[in-house]
């Protein structure tokens, strides 16, 4: 069984590469406590089936998935994103 969490904000890196721009994803649990995961850990937990992540944009719920670009860089993106992780990059930014 997996845990489903809503991604509500991102922590961005200084990278100019959009595939490496997301440093961490995060949100708030039902009890109000904040959670944060590095992009690498989120990818690992997604692939192990331990977690599912989603974002809400307007009235639309989209799941987060793992993708890989032509250079072999693995990254997170929403189900409606094509190549770049625009759905996650549009979330509010939290200072690291």
Q: For residue 96, is pLDDT > 70?
A: no
65: how many CB neighbours lie within 10 A of its CB? 14
If one compares 50 and 20, the residue with the highest pLDDT of the two is 50
Cα–Cα distances (Å) from 11 to 1, 60, 70, 91, in that order, read 27, 22, 24, 10
CB-CB contact of 42 with 48 (8 Å):
no
Q: What pLDDT does 17 receive?
A: 82
Q: For residue 30, is pLDDT > 90?
A: no
Per-residue burial over 5-35, b = 16 or more CB atoms within 10 Å of its CB, e = otherwise:
bebbbbbbeeeeebbebbbbbbbeeeeeeee
- At 37-85, the pLDDT tens digits run 999 999 999 999 999 999 998 889 999 999 999 999 999 999 999 888 8
The domain locations on the chain are 3-89
């Amino acid at each position: 069984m997996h845990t489903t969490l809503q991604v509500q904000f991102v922590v961005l890196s200084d990278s100019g590469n959009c595939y490496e721009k997301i440093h961490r994803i995060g949100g708030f649990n039902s009890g109000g406590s904040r959670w944060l995961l590095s992009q690498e850990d989120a990818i690992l937990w997604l692939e192990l089936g331990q977690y599912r992540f989603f974002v809400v944009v307007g009235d639309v719920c989209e799941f987060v998935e793992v993708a890989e670009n032509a250079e072999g860089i693995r990254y997170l993106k929403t189900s409606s994103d094509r190549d770049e992780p625009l759905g996650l990059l549009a979330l509010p930014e939290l200072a690291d």
